[in-house]
Amino acid sequence: MTTDTFDIAPLFAPGQPVPAVRWTGYPKYNFIGGHNDADSTPVAALTEAANAVLTREGRDLSLYTLQSGPLGYRRLRDFLVGKLRRDAGIACAADEILLVSGSLQALDLVNALFVARGDTVIVEQETYGGTISRFARLGAAMVGIPLDRQGMRMDALAAALEDYRRRGVTPKFIYTIPTVQNPTGTIMPDERRRELLRLSEQYGVPVVEDDCYADLIWDHKRPPAIYAMGRRGQVIHIGSFSKSVAPALRVGYIVAPWDILSRLVALKTDAGSGALEQMVLAEYCTQHFHDHVPVLTRALREKRDTLMEALAEQFGTAAEFEAPPGGIFLWVKLPDQVDIAKLAQTALAAGIAINPGPEWSVDRDWSKSRMRLCFASPAKETIREGIAALAEVCRREFGVPARSANVEKRAGA
């Protein structure tokens, strides 16, 4: 082979994303992504589950969809039927659950069914960055609804829906993360969920409920899923095992009536998501899931507290945040003079990775001094060291926080 390069770039389809940066390993202080607590990953029990299920059913790996068909491994769907009824109030059959390769594939399938270029979708003003980037690539018009401490504001949603009705536009759906919202951590109460469904009914706009963080609530008390409260076909429910068991397993699910689910199955042209992960999860979850979650949430809550303490010590009142009732993220506001995009670049050069707020918001200007910090993966001491290092970068670049204020705070602590 010659060393000359074939110029293939002119043949690329239009609208491609920016090329990925070559991966060089995780930074020393990694506060990005949806990584989880390594010490709480149930490795021994997963190993035991893998040995048991492969011994019993391993021959079925010779079939693309095992013995279960295109919806995914039946035993895992059966487990979900019971889990969803008990935890979220959802009454569904196993044939109303589609197993997918993580919640990202679930979003892709839902978007493929509903969204064409130029369509309007309603989202929370601050929401999952993967959702924002997908809508942007599809050429959808995103309408961001402001949040408060109880999640998406229904007065703002009602105003937006009425405005679009006057324009003769029906949004394709309302996308919401109502239970431990990403990135803000809010939980939408029952009354607001009912109002969301009333507005959905009034304006003829369905709801897509992303419930990926709902297992990670400190007190393990959650409102019923919106899916459980709505009419048949009004809500599509998305869930995942990425946050409750392990992100790298890449197993999520969609709950919907068969007339909707059958169309999503037709769009899922990958010959089936990884069967081994589904088999191991079913074996593990049937025996251990509800004992595992309290162990995980206890560890996560301790790390959340460590992160908040470190921010208070290093930044003082220059860092504003609300203590989330669950999840793996803290949404932090720094003073207005801090350009979080510039801070993120400078911090990364120092081995500190943060998620800039504009990547998680439909209103990039509103979030230009905000950041999302994932506290699940780093050890507690690493969290303390990383926040101290971040404060030094922020002080050097923007004069925030003022060193004297922090000295006084620690002296009075």
User: Cα–Cα distances in Å, from 81 out to 77, 291, 399?
Assistant: 6, 18, 53
Domains and CATH numbers, the chain: 24-41+293-412 (3.90.1150.10), 43-288 (3.40.640.10)
Whether 89 has a pLDDT exceeding 50, the answer reads: yes
The pLDDT of 48-67, averaged and rounded, is 93
- Mean pLDDT is lowest, of 23-27, 165-169, 316-320, 334-338, for 23-27
Residues 274 and 100: their CA atoms lie apart, in Å, by 9
The pLDDT of 142-157, averaged and rounded, is 97
Whether 405 has a pLDDT exceeding 80, the answer reads: no
Closest residue by Cα to residue 297 from 222, 238, 408: 222
Q: Which residues is 254 bridged to in the sheet? A: 98, 238
Residues 362 and 397: their CA atoms lie apart, in Å, by 26
Q: SS3 sequence, the chain?
A: CCCCCCCCHHHCCCCCCCCCCCCCCCCCEECCCCCCCHHHCCHHHHHHHHHHHHHHHHHHHHCCCCCCCCCCCHHHHHHHHHHHHHHHCCCCCHHHEEEECHHHHHHHHHHHHHCCCCCEEEEECECCHHHHHHHHHHCCEEEEECEECCEECHHHHHHHHHHHHHCCCCCCCEEECCECCCCCCCECCHHHHHHHHHHHHHHCCCEEEECCCCCCECCCCCCCCHHHHCCCCCEEEEEECCCCCCHHHCCEEEECCHHHHHHHHHHCCCCCCCHHHHHHHHHHHHHHHHHHHHHHHHHHHHHHHHHHHHHHHHHHHHCECCCCCECCEEEEECCCCCCHHHHHHHHHHCCEECEEHHHHECCCCCCCCEEEEECCCCCHHHHHHHHHHHHHHHHHHHCCCCHHHHHHHHHHC
Residues 281 and 72: their CA atoms lie apart, in Å, by 12
Residue 295, CB-side half-sphere exposure with 13 Å CA sphere:
12
pLDDT confidence tier of residue 164, bands split at 50, 70 and 90? very high
User: Cα–Cα distances in Å, from 232 out to 4, 249, 260, 340?
Assistant: 59, 30, 10, 43
pLDDT score of 411? 37
Distance of CA 97 to the CA centre of its chain: 19
Whether 384 has a pLDDT exceeding 80, the answer reads: yes
pLDDT score of 404? 52
Mean pLDDT, rounded, of the chain = 94
Residues 262 and 78: their CA atoms lie apart, in Å, by 18
Structure tokens at 30: 């990694």
Q: Which residue has the tokens 């009705």?
A: 165
pLDDT confidence tier of residue 331, bands split at 50, 70 and 90? very high
pLDDT score of 361? 95
Q: Which residues is 328 bridged to in the sheet? A: none
Q: Which residues is 237 bridged to in the sheet? A: 209, 255
Structure tokens at 77: 């769907």
Interval 348-382: pLDDT, tens: 999 999 999 999 999 988 889 999 999 999 999 99
Whether 270 has a pLDDT exceeding 50, the answer reads: yes
What percent of the chain clears pLDDT 90, i.e. is strictly above it?
Answer: 87
pLDDT score of 403? 65
pLDDT score of 146? 97
Residue 381: φ, ψ to 5°:
-65, -35
Q: How many residues does the chain have?
A: 413
Reported pTM: 0.93
Whether 90 has a pLDDT exceeding 70, the answer reads: yes
Structure tokens at 295: 């162990």
Whether 20 has a pLDDT exceeding 70, the answer reads: yes
| Whether 144 contacts 362, CB under 8 Å | yes
Whether 410 has a pLDDT exceeding 50, the answer reads: no
pLDDT confidence tier of residue 412, bands split at 50, 70 and 90? very low
pLDDT confidence tier of residue 24, bands split at 50, 70 and 90? confident
Interval 27-48: pLDDT, tens: 999 999 899 999 999 999 999 9
The pLDDT of 339-353, averaged and rounded, is 96
More confident residue, 278 or 17: 278
Distance of CA 279 to the CA centre of its chain: 23
Whether 326 has a pLDDT exceeding 80, the answer reads: yes
The pLDDT of 248-271, averaged and rounded, is 96
CA dihedral of 13, 18, 22, 28, whole degrees rounded to 10: -150
Whether 321 has a pLDDT exceeding 90, the answer reads: yes
pLDDT confidence tier of residue 233, bands split at 50, 70 and 90? very high
pLDDT score of 388? 97
Closest residue by Cα to residue 387 from 312, 322, 331: 312
